[in-house]
Structure 1
Amino acid sequence: MNNEVKELKGTFKSFIKKDGDKWGLIYFQPENEKSKIVIYAVAPLPMCHVDYEILVQPNNRNYRLLEFKPYKKENTQIDWVEFFKNHIKGVGQKSAEKINEIYGAKIFDLINFYEDNEEELKNNLTTSQIEGFKDFWKIPRNQKTIKELLGKTGEADMSSISFFYNNNLEILYNKLLEIHDNDESIDFVKFYTKNQPYILYTKYNLNLLLVDQFALLLKYSKSFPERVKAYLKFIIQEKERDNSTLLPATEIFVDLQTKTEIESPILKEILIDLCNQGYLFYYNKNGKDYFSLGSTRKKEFFIYEFLEKINNQPPKIFDSLDSSKLNDLSKKQQEAYLSFLKENILIITGGPGTGKTHLINKLNQTLKLNRYKNENDYVILAPTGRAATNISNKIKSKVKTIHSFLRIPTDLEEPEYDEDRELIKVLIIDEFSMVNLNIFEKLLRSCPNLEKLVLIGDIDQLPAIGPGNLLENLLLSNKFSATYLVDYFRSDSKTIWEHFNSIKKEGELPKFHKGIVDLYEFNDLTLTDQLVDLYSKKLQKTDLENLILLCPTYKGNEGLINLNNLIQNKINPQGRVVHTYKKLGQTIEFRVGDKVIQLENRINDEIYNGDFGRIVAVDEGTSSKAKDKKIKIEFNQGHENKTIVYTREEFYNQIALGYGVTVHKFQGSEINNVIFLVHPKHNFMLTKKMLYTGTSRAKKYLAIVTTNKSDYREINLKNEVYKKEILTNLELFLKGEKWN
């Protein structure tokens, strides 16, 4: 078998083996040949019982699929019985024969106009069969395939479709159909030749590499300004994840030139034009040049003006609780409470155990005393579901996540107008250090009639993932009333408090106490095995809900992907495997009984990014259709257990193993037992804020794990410990910088 690429026509008959929609081994029947061949394909996978033109290349004893596109065979009858049976959920051999006898291909016309044909369909099909056809028809790619098979696609449209298939852009084609309301009459090649295509990234967030490939094939120039704008947005937003909104201009220029392949003089001229247009902002500080996205700077200026406006309004005065109800407040807590009564903006900062939640409870009681209603006149918010649940359980009052309040799943979404949010007069936001400027700007815009704002957080913790350094910028500006809580109130973890508190102090060695704060210096060669053994031994004295491994990164042998796998194999080796995929080159299995973490907000289910659960069951569905698989995860939400059912695709996108998580992901949460890995390979991430945040998550027990080649005490003695500089426009506005 040589390696020459072969062009074939024929039909894919059946899958021998597949992993969902990611890859598969498929029998292919070439046209006018008796024997089938085996083809290996990766996503997007072709459909069975559809005629294709394909390109394949020999691969050992089989073939590898390079390209495929459907085509209509002349004078050939389509076997709709086989098609229905293999592609429609709930349809078997006998029901496929019956449906074909009654309707044949006409069934798809009836489904397309279901409301007009509902009664007739219900007379001949079961509810599950109707739902199966409707689910199939919802997918734009399936509609396109059926129309091609029935010859309902015009020549111009087929030419457009062929363009996408010939250039491996079928994924983009399906996305374009979604954007254009499944209107297959549009010739997307002609449409986006006349209308610049980079809007597909800047507005619709489609993959920029696919969009760029499409645009270049349409003969757009590499120096096309909209292309440069798209790549600028991509590069700068990636860097904004590390908080700075003013970024080194040289760094941006080098990255931009690498990705766009535009000659330096031409690129400089384009950037000057973009600065003049306001798309890009240029700033010079101490002889160094910086760039910022104009859109980001605009958000920062809005936040600055909004806060200035509230702060300068006549103060909103509240009646106080009876003094007898304030006797349990420390001097600093009382100071913060009195500021709340008379100040329009108040910032409260303090570490774990300094009584921030206790103070929130007093503020909540005071608002009720002043006839303010929770969720009508005021709301208490937190950035994560875990933090919101924790506060809610302690103060016995409703606390929402910011995303659920705005009813958006991610920071990328824009909240819909809601007149109820315009009635909100007071916002209390806990764990404010975790709030980035994108979500904060959306929140303030949604509450235009705000009178009082309380921001609560720990300035020594890590800043948010995303643009901005809000808590630090606002606190250090000295423009707003602020209280620093310093007294520690937890009697059960004073030793842990002394340890993480010492990290903040220059020249002070961290304190240890055997059995409460332990330091393990494992051999570098056996560290991962010893770490897993430590986790397993600790689990014998507690449970998974009260134990977590923290680490700065998922990457590498000492990263969380590998460590989660090792812990799983140690403590849950026999659990039934429910799902498998690869990430960063490593295979990850999920088993019944595994501890997992939610990665996206599910607003309707009230399950949020950062919530932990446990896989409790799996329903495989029909064995030939992996997409039918349903996986059940149980979440403990304090007062109740909630079971959520995930489709295979939802599970893949939203769930990760949760025996260990990053420090960033666990920020805002506390747990009884923490094992914190501080490895020399992670030195570039080990800021004092990283060390402080990781160690301060523990309530009863803290284990620091490092290697015999690293000195944890010495790392803490370093003054700034790999401190990174964060530059923001908001900081400049607060210092008096003008918009122009």
Structure 2
Amino acid sequence: MSTKKYRGFLSKFLFINESGWGIGLFIDEDNKNHQMRIKGPIGQMQTKIIYEIQGNLEDHPKYGQALEVSSFKIADSTTIKQAIGFLSSDLFPTIGKKTAEQIVDFLGVDAIKKIRQDPEIIKTVPDISHSAIEIITSVVNRVDQEQELVEIFTMNGLRLPFLNQMLKWHDDKNELLEIFKTDFYSYSRKNSFQPFLEVDRVSLYFGVEKYGVVRISAWIYEIIKEILFTTGHTFTTSEVLIAETRKRLQVSRETVIEALVFCKNQKTLVFDNHKIYSDESWSDEEEIITTIKTITSRANLKPTLENFSEDDLIQEIEQEIETSFKIPNFQYDDFQRAALKSFLSSNILILTGGPGTGKTMVINGMVRLYQKIYGSQNFALGAPTGRAASRITETTNFKATTIHKLLKASGDDVFEINASNPLDLDLIILDEASMLSNHLFADFLRGTSPVKKLVLVGDVEQLPSVSYGNLFEDLITANKFPTIKLTKIFRQKERNGIIELATAISQGQPQNLEFENLKNIHFLFEENNQINSENLIKTYQALVAKQPVGNLNYLQVICPYYKGELGINNLNTIIQKKFNGNLLKGDKIFKKGEMKFAINDKVMYLKNDSTLELSNGDMGIINLLKFENKKFTSALVEFNNRDIVLKNSNFSELTLSYAISVHKSQGSEYNNVILILDPSSNNYFLTKKIIYTAITRAKENLYIIGSQESFWKGLEKITASRKTTLVEKIQKNF
């Protein structure tokens, strides 16, 4: 593929993202009727300015030809009109056409070239103001510096979005070069530049020593992050870290040890009692210990209600719930009443229990008790996901929000509510606490440290967080905080096979159940995937025919793995093709990567986005796809009863959600769940907790399709224990 060169100007951007990658329309300088699409890291280009660009032409079956830009630079002016147009462009604020004409009249068509070579020459132009001289010389200097760096990045295949972002923050080329040459790794960590391999390439180009301590230590930090994420541990050992680093970089043991010492001195790693933590995982555990110790040591909230009886108030609340939720003869059981009383006497309380044990009704009672006794509305209900928060709101009639919204997230790990600007609330109740990672909980505590009462609610039998730590289970295991475990099942007017199966799995006794007698569970075990596919289609067809319009919680396919014949990726394609007829309307389809989107598709957003007010895991339905001249412009997607406009760039964070992972289903409940266990997939990671979490997403009917062998082997496999020091530290400090 030969490289093509063009000279012309950018007429407009069709799309541009935050990192500077964009699509634009480029007009040929000599033939204004020749317009072409260009794409690539062109975010620093300005419209209406003559550029020389080069790249490779690509053919797209739908959009036609486009140039993948590999480099661009501002072209030298060849006519007086071009020179005047350049000097009076938006690049030079306050320099109008009249001043530009003065300069070109005096210095000629190559005025910019002359100024570039000798900045003092601009002072010889008659009647030019001092401010105009300063603006022109500074802009020419800045543009030259930027252009030089852009050329370095484009010609050497370095990640231009890094540079585009940095040019927004730094004006001086020498300052940028200093960052690139000294320790671009540290800069990238602070500013969340990813992927690491691209950071490494930039650093190597600008002269970091390949086997020097700076580069090896950066790799070590990246490796420990991967280890902690993969294992869920909060620390590792020197031997594991040394072995993995040597394997990746082919360096000596002595070289790695020297880099480990450097990491210790730089405080990117923390060494304690033969354990090695990342600075983040260490500070998270320390923050958790420090803040919960502060909360527990505070004086209890002072009631505004005088001479009250706890039992009388609880009875009053029972009557209110009976009326509000139309539950005849509603009464809390002994453990629920104990939880409500412990809530009043404790600053930190943990409430755990399986499905149907009435955790939500206890949350409801706690809020009502708080309002009656303390006469205040200074409380918040929260959860790790948007769907979990919505479920609390629906089942308690009290407004709940995500932790990210509560902390006013403005980006990954960036919160407006933080240690410097904390919320001052009397009470916070967090549901689905088993999903809390150490890192999110530490950020939460930093932003809510003045809280007087904190209640954590969850099911300890469910999967722990995706990120490192085993927070909820660790807090219970430490045995230093009041903990109430609910065991009595309330959520069944008659036998509920789903709850019976969940309880048996929790107790390690599923083999004692008579599976054929379990109500509302349908076992369709088969080792042949052709039959499994047919069973899926039949089951889905029967259920979707009864699905109320717009009810996303009516039916959900859940699968533990993404790959395989019946993994999540293929399942979404199979279900979409079979059940969304709009996929046949080729002119109304938007293709993003390997995925196709059509009207009525069920989708999931994969990012916390404060601008769109969407949370990672929010589900929606595509109601409209807009096209102009057969080109996609935007989509209207209904999330949580709100119509959200999504642009092309947002679709990078969107996926089909007919089938989702067990982790993505956590925090939600569905009327009907189809659990797929693909016999062709490697089920080595299928565990008791994964199966338990999946089946407890179902409220009314559960269908298990696939491998019986995988099902039983998974139930026998206990999730490997996550190594943390939170329990040890709590027991030492309390």
The one-letter code of the counterpart of 1:298 is S
Q: Write the deviation string for residues 517-537 of structure 1: whole angstroms up to 9, x where unpaired.
A: 011123534134542343223
The one-letter code of the counterpart of 1:599 is L
Residues 49-58 or 200-209, more deviating: 49-58
2:116 aligned residue: none
Shift of 1:201: 1.7
Alpha-carbon distance between aligned partners in 1 of 2:537 and 2:576, rounded to the nearest angstrom: 9
Secondary structure of the residue aligned to 2:491 is coil
5 Å matches for 1:125-524?
155-169=144-158, 170-180=160-170, 183=171, 185-187=172-174, 190-192=177-179, 195-207=182-194, 208-241=196-229, 242-275=231-264, 278-282=267-271, 290-316=275-301, 320=310, 322-325=313-316, 328-374=331-377, 377-409=378-410, 411-416=412-417, 421-491=422-492, 494-509=496-511, 511-513=515-517, 516-524=520-528
CA contact (8 A) 1:44 1:171 kept: no
Q: Does residue 547 of structure 1 match 2:539? A: no
CA contact (8 A) 1:686 1:722 kept: no
- Number of residue pairs aligned between Structure 1 and Structure 2: 653
| Poorly superposed stretches of 4+, deviation over 6 Å | 12-15, 18-29, 36-49, 77-80
Q: Does residue 599 of structure 1 match 2:606? A: yes
Q: Does residue 72 of structure 1 match 2:75? A: yes
Alpha-carbon distance between aligned partners in 1 of 2:38 and 2:301, rounded to the nearest angstrom: 69
Identity, in percent, stands at 25
Alpha-carbon distance between aligned partners in 2 of 1:702 and 1:383, rounded to the nearest angstrom: 25
CA contact (8 A) 2:496 2:520 kept: no
Secondary structure of the residue aligned to 2:72 is strand
1:235/1:579 CA distance change after superposition, 3 Å: farther
1:569 aligned residue: 577
Shift of 1:396: 1.8
1:514/1:25 CA distance change after superposition, 3 Å: farther
Alpha-carbon distance between aligned partners in 1 of 2:80 and 2:678, rounded to the nearest angstrom: 65
1:136 aligned residue: none
Q: Which of 595, 606, 624 matches 1:588?
A: 595
CA contact (8 A) 2:314 2:369 kept: no
CA contact (8 A) 2:302 2:374 kept: no
Q: Write the deviation string for residues 366-406 of structure 1: whole angstroms up to 9, x where unpaired.
A: 111123433xx321111111111111122222212111110
CA contact (8 A) 1:381 1:401 kept: yes
CA contact (8 A) 1:283 1:290 kept: yes
Shift of 1:498: 0.4
1:94 aligned residue: none
CA contact (8 A) 1:518 1:704 kept: yes
Alpha-carbon distance between aligned partners in 1 of 2:592 and 2:180, rounded to the nearest angstrom: 38
Shift of 1:564: 0.6
CA contact (8 A) 1:684 1:722 kept: no
Alpha-carbon distance between aligned partners in 2 of 1:39 and 1:619, rounded to the nearest angstrom: 20
1:8/1:703 CA distance change after superposition, 3 Å: closer
Alpha-carbon distance between aligned partners in 2 of 1:573 and 1:20, rounded to the nearest angstrom: 32
The one-letter code of the counterpart of 1:657 is L
Alpha-carbon distance between aligned partners in 2 of 1:42 and 1:513, rounded to the nearest angstrom: 60
Shift of 1:603: 3.3
Secondary structure of the residue aligned to 1:455 is strand
CA contact (8 A) 1:387 1:668 kept: yes
Shift of 1:335: 1.0
1:712 aligned residue: 711
Q: Which of 629, 634, 637 matches 1:630?
A: 634
Alpha-carbon distance between aligned partners in 2 of 1:156 and 1:616, rounded to the nearest angstrom: 47
Shift of 1:356: 0.6
2:719 aligned residue: 723
Alpha-carbon distance between aligned partners in 2 of 1:20 and 1:277, rounded to the nearest angstrom: 37
Question: What stretches of structure 2 of length at least 5 have no aligned partner?
Answer: 60-64, 98-135, 319-330
CA contact (8 A) 1:499 1:512 kept: no
Alpha-carbon distance between aligned partners in 2 of 1:447 and 1:20, rounded to the nearest angstrom: 37
Alpha-carbon distance between aligned partners in 1 of 2:23 and 2:452, rounded to the nearest angstrom: 59
Alpha-carbon distance between aligned partners in 1 of 2:566 and 2:156, rounded to the nearest angstrom: 40
Secondary structure of the residue aligned to 2:363 is helix
The one-letter code of the counterpart of 1:501 is T
1:670 aligned residue: 669
Shift of 1:341: 1.2
Alpha-carbon distance between aligned partners in 1 of 2:473 and 2:362, rounded to the nearest angstrom: 21
CA contact (8 A) 1:621 1:630 kept: no
CA contact (8 A) 1:597 1:610 kept: yes
Secondary structure of the residue aligned to 2:642 is strand
Shift of 1:483: 0.5
Alpha-carbon distance between aligned partners in 2 of 1:227 and 1:415, rounded to the nearest angstrom: 33
| TM-score, L = length of structure 2 | 0.79
Alpha-carbon distance between aligned partners in 2 of 1:381 and 1:274, rounded to the nearest angstrom: 37
Secondary structure of the residue aligned to 1:478 is coil
2:100 aligned residue: none
Alpha-carbon distance between aligned partners in 2 of 1:63 and 1:631, rounded to the nearest angstrom: 24
CA contact (8 A) 1:550 1:675 kept: yes
Shift of 1:233: 3.3
Residues 186-195 or 691-700, more deviating: 186-195
2:321 aligned residue: none
Secondary structure of the residue aligned to 1:196 is helix
Q: Does residue 610 of structure 1 match 2:652? A: no
Secondary structure of the residue aligned to 2:503 is helix
Q: Does residue 732 of structure 1 match 2:714? A: no
1:12/1:729 CA distance change after superposition, 3 Å: farther
1:695/1:200 CA distance change after superposition, 3 Å: same
Shift of 1:106: 3.1
1:72/1:261 CA distance change after superposition, 3 Å: farther
Secondary structure of the residue aligned to 1:190 is helix
Secondary structure of the residue aligned to 1:464 is coil
1:44/1:251 CA distance change after superposition, 3 Å: farther
CA contact (8 A) 1:13 1:28 kept: yes
Alpha-carbon distance between aligned partners in 1 of 2:360 and 2:51, rounded to the nearest angstrom: 64
Residues 446-455 or 257-266, more deviating: 257-266
CA contact (8 A) 1:409 1:600 kept: no
Shift of 1:363: 0.5
Alpha-carbon distance between aligned partners in 2 of 1:113 and 1:695, rounded to the nearest angstrom: 66
Shift of 1:219: 0.9
1:555/1:239 CA distance change after superposition, 3 Å: farther
Question: What stretches of structure 1 of length at least 5 have no aligned partner?
Answer: 81-99, 118-146
1:333/1:23 CA distance change after superposition, 3 Å: same
Shift of 1:188: 5.7
1:365/1:606 CA distance change after superposition, 3 Å: farther
CA contact (8 A) 1:247 1:290 kept: yes
The one-letter code of the counterpart of 1:517 is I
2:683 aligned residue: 683
1:700 aligned residue: 700
C-alpha RMSD of the superposition: 4.0
1:556 aligned residue: 564
1:324/1:58 CA distance change after superposition, 3 Å: closer
Shift of 1:553: 2.4
1:84 aligned residue: none
Shift of 1:65: 5.8
Shift of 1:479: 0.6
Q: Write the deviation string for residues 63-116 of structure 1: whole angstroms up to 9, x where unpaired.
A: 996832324145157889xxxxxxxxxxxxxxxxxxx9xx88735258x679x9
The one-letter code of the counterpart of 1:325 is E
Shift of 1:507: 4.2
Shift of 1:491: 1.7
